[in-house]
Structure 1
Amino acid sequence: MAGKETDTTSSISTTAQTTAQTTALTTAGTTAGVTARAVASDGSPVTGTRAWTTRLVVLGIVLSAVNLRPAITSLGALLEEVRDGLGMSGSVAGLLTSVPPLCFAVFGFTAPRLARRFGPVAVVCAGMVAITAGLLIRPYAGSTAGFLAASALALMGIALSNVLMPVIVKRWFPDRVGSMTGVYSMALAAGTAVAAAVTVPTTDALGGGWQAGLAVWAGLAAVAVLPWVPLLRDRGTAPAPAPAPETEARARAERRPPALRITRSRTAWALAVFFGLQATAAYITMGWMAQIFRDAGVSASTAGLLLALTMVMGVPLAFVIPRVATRLPHQGPIVIALGVCGLAGYAGLYLAPAGGAWAWAVLLGVSNCAFPLALTMVGMRARTGAGVVQLSAFAQSAGYLISIPGPLLVGVLYQHSGGWGLPIALMVGLMIPQMAVGVLAGRDRTVEDEAAAAA
């Protein structure tokens, strides 16, 4: 291991990963031509107090999005110091990098139920509080178990907000879903990249202690709580008139569970596996890429910048890839192109990790944009709105579960082999089936038709 500086690891691609989540689905299922003014859910202009409330919602969305990844990327930047300070083995560190997808899979399921009971605004506000508390507690927990528990608390808040932020966008900005999703996505990517880039300098400025370098991000999360507090009395909904009887009946029909057996669709399974493998690649790359660079002699601060560069690649591509994908009858060529970038990046990490570090960071950042492509295909592979929701829930929940072992296995291989040859071979080995199932998932067909044919 290279010296005790920072390991800009555990960043989830999750930047592309959830940077692109709402962008991709929105691009797949909405049209262009949004207006430039805020509207209420009934379509009327927002004025006076309602305009001020809308501004608070926009501020809350931006600040919350900024806080959805620093808990992960700040830890990645200081993982080596945390490991030394708490006496973690490589295997335990691998477990730590597997905690984010586990929490996203487990706590994400509870978000809709909590939102129905308390309102999405209240749940997002509580999520920001959980992030703040987790980030403040974990550096001073004093043990590996306490550190993991506090990290899980912060990740729970992230998981809840991940799921409900698109709900808030859709409710408050029904005619500006695309533009507001773009704002949300860029804020998320910015928070991810900034945390990766400045955690090491901030730690040095605060005296070099990793505890302070991690705890400082709790302050940013605390600020994100403030815009939601005045909105709590509204239970997270914009004011709207009472629906007409036919509208209410239609809404009840839309809420009725669809008679779609998603597990009978081969495309649904292909998407779930593709989602899981791309998430695995993203968590491994983001969780361990910096350690590879540091072991090759790259400084900790430079490794942080390399991770930030990888994260930033998701910002423009999260807008470009979905738009290109929706114009193609088959998304297989995009799957192949992204996979080739990933294979080239892994080869570079093995052959010349320091010599071509910036090129490998760019290539792996491009490869990680399989996430917005996966979500775009979710929107394209279902014919109905209810089908999209069901397919999305199935693909993401199964996918996050699939992605859990990857980072842990890399940590075990790294510790027991003493080098990066086997872990990189694992990354390459997973990229091949990712490309194969991605091609299958990209075929022009719908899960409704497949499920009906299999009945």
Structure 2
Amino acid sequence: MTARPLWAGRTLALLGVLLVALSLRTPVAAMSPILDRIGRDIPLDPVVLGIIGAAPPLAFAASGLLAPSLARRIGLEQALLASLVAMAAGHLVRAFAPEALVLTLGSVLALVGVGVGNVLLPPVVRRYFPDRVGLITSLYATLMSVSTAVPALVAVPVADAAGWRVSLAMWMLVAAIAAVPWVAVLVRRRPPAIAEPVDLARTGPIELGAVELGDAQAAATEAAVEHRAPPPRRLGIRLLRSPTAWALGVIFGSSSLGAYASFAWLPTLLVDQARVTEAAAGALLALYAFMGFPAGLLVPVIAARFPRSAGPLVALGGAFFVVGYLGLLLAPGAAPVLWVASAGSGPLLFPLALVLINLRSDAPQTTVALSGFVQTVGYLLGAVGPFVVGILHDATDGWTVPLVFLLAVVVLVLPAGAVLARARTVDSEL
């Protein structure tokens, strides 16, 4: 496909994608640094804290089932707008929560909005930027990392200056601003330049006052691809038979499991194993998170430009995990910076999975269904990580068995990488 100028006729869509990406981690990252302050006003027992801690991956997994159906019923852009409304409402509900139950419900509402946005961004990129999938995915994956780091940095200073309720409520503005371009898109859009009415959740090229993504011939070609694809309501079931869909779910899930387990337990592990101070452990956790930036920028572009690169990239991500975990297991105090940097580079599998959702699907409705499937499988695996690592640590009073468990998870990516190296689309397997 011939690349068009990035801003040509799709400025609103580009701004919308980038602003949504900046919203997608604020409900997760803005709360944990100030839980102690919240607990002074609202009693938070261990059960509530456990629910809040487990809510993100579980809500994201549930949203993988919800988002494709929502997009099919009301349209892709409308569903994405609804996710932003849910995020904004969730921020406000928990900011003004009088008790733990309302705080929990507000968090769940915001996280479901995030989960729906997670699922819908890849098909939105496909719809508006089919010629720039790698670039746009790299940009929004990087901004998602920013939306994880910034709330964690500013939550405490804002709570000190204005109170924890303001610290939580202010992120509603990010979601509200992100909604503005999509409202404008829906107001300006004209019907697709094809003869027959098309379901908004399934269409490819559309117009926003001018031709957005191609002419009538391109739209007709996209419609022909959709016509050959399975009916949308059957896609979720048919994906269960797709090796490519399962391979994407496995690499997404392996990355999520390692990341969630590390954010939950890595500082404690470093204090116990590497004998670093708590301050140093916090700095090393920041290093772990920072290693996602170069991966988010480079991996989608490489995967989009070189179709056969998926297998080697999966192997590279697995190798980074193995080096990091083995270092922490065998010589934790020798080079903790190196081990943490290597383990933090393993989640390059996350942006790789995001871009492959588009590259391994032909029809737009397949992209929506595949995104939901991959993120449901992936976040369910991600939710398992902190629990299993914690249980194994408590049962053995050490970190050897938990690290062996994390190494065993990495083994799963090897057959997944072999499947993805074949560069087959999900549509060809249905």
Q: Give the alignment's TM-score, normalised by structure 1.
A: 0.70
Change in Cα spacing, 1:271 to 1:249, as seen in structure 2 (3 Å) is closer
Among 315, 331, 342, the alignment partner of 1:363 is 342
Quote the offset at 1:230 in angstroms. 4.5
In structure 2, the residue matched to 1:10 is none
Change in Cα spacing, 1:77 to 1:337, as seen in structure 2 (3 Å) is farther
Tell me if structure 1 keeps the 8 A contact 2:122–2:357: no
In structure 2, the residue matched to 1:335 is 314
SS in 2 for 1:220: helix
- Structure 1 residue 280 corresponds to structure 2 residue 238: no
Where does structure 1 lack aligned partners over 5 or more consecutive residues?
1-29, 41-53
Among 17, 23, 39, the alignment partner of 1:67 is 23
In structure 1, the residue matched to 2:161 is 206
In structure 2, the residue matched to 1:320 is 298
Tell me if structure 2 keeps the 8 A contact 1:196–1:305: no
SS in 2 for 1:256: helix
Tell me if structure 2 keeps the 8 A contact 1:39–1:172: no
Tell me if structure 1 keeps the 8 A contact 2:64–2:371: no
In structure 2, the residue matched to 1:255 is 226
SS in 1 for 2:343: helix
In structure 2, the residue matched to 1:217 is 171
Quote the offset at 1:68 in angstroms. 0.8
Provide, for residues 60-109 of structure 1, a one-character-per-residue CA deviation record: whole Å limited to 9, x for no partner: 333321111122123344467768974443x8655544322222222233
CA distance in 1, matches of 2:268, 2:423: 41
- Structure 1 residue 186 corresponds to structure 2 residue 186: no
SS in 2 for 1:35: coil
SS in 2 for 1:369: helix
- Structure 1 residue 406 corresponds to structure 2 residue 385: yes
- Structure 1 residue 397 corresponds to structure 2 residue 352: no
Quote the offset at 1:369 in angstroms. 0.8
Which deviates the most, 438-447 or 237-246? 237-246
Tell me if structure 2 keeps the 8 A contact 1:275–1:395: yes
In structure 2, the residue matched to 1:13 is none
Quote the offset at 1:366 in angstroms. 0.5
Amino acid at match of 1:218: M
Tell me if structure 1 keeps the 8 A contact 2:134–2:301: no
Where does structure 2 lack aligned partners over 5 or more consecutive residues?
190-199, 201-206
- Structure 1 residue 195 corresponds to structure 2 residue 136: no
In structure 1, the residue matched to 2:111 is 155
Provide, for residues 163-221 of structure 1, a one-character-per-residue CA deviation record: whole Å limited to 9, x for no partner: 33344444455655554444433322222222233434444x437x6555444433433
SS in 2 for 1:368: helix
Provide, for residues 300-329 of structure 1, a one-character-per-residue CA deviation record: whole Å limited to 9, x for no partner: 6x6665444333322322343345456474
Larger relative contact order, structure 1 or 2 (CA cutoff 8 Å, min sep 6): 1
Report the count of equivalent residues: 403
Alignment of 1:44-193 (within 5 A): 54=11, 56-78=12-34, 86-89=43-46, 93=49, 95-138=51-94, 141=97, 144-173=100-129, 176-193=132-149
Change in Cα spacing, 1:139 to 1:413, as seen in structure 2 (3 Å) is farther
Q: What is the percentage of aligned positions where both structures have the same residue?
A: 35
In structure 2, the residue matched to 1:39 is 9
CA distance in 1, matches of 2:403, 2:246: 26
Change in Cα spacing, 1:59 to 1:229, as seen in structure 2 (3 Å) is same
Q: Give the alignment's TM-score, normalised by structure 2.
A: 0.73
CA distance in 1, matches of 2:32, 2:229: 41
Provide, for residues 273-326 of structure 1, a one-character-per-residue CA deviation record: whole Å limited to 9, x for no partner: 3332232222222343345457766446x6665444333322322343345456
CA distance in 1, matches of 2:363, 2:182: 33
Amino acid at match of 1:310: Y
Change in Cα spacing, 1:276 to 1:253, as seen in structure 2 (3 Å) is same
Change in Cα spacing, 1:197 to 1:306, as seen in structure 2 (3 Å) is farther
In structure 2, the residue matched to 1:9 is none
Provide, for residues 45-71 of structure 1, a one-character-per-residue CA deviation record: whole Å limited to 9, x for no partner: xxxxxxxxx4x5444333321111122
In structure 2, the residue matched to 1:424 is 403
Among 187, 210, 234, the alignment partner of 1:233 is 187
Quote the offset at 1:226 in angstroms. 4.3
SS in 1 for 2:422: coil
SS in 1 for 2:30: helix
Which deviates the most, 76-85 or 335-344? 76-85
CA distance in 2, matches of 1:206, 1:365: 33
Change in Cα spacing, 1:141 to 1:428, as seen in structure 2 (3 Å) is farther
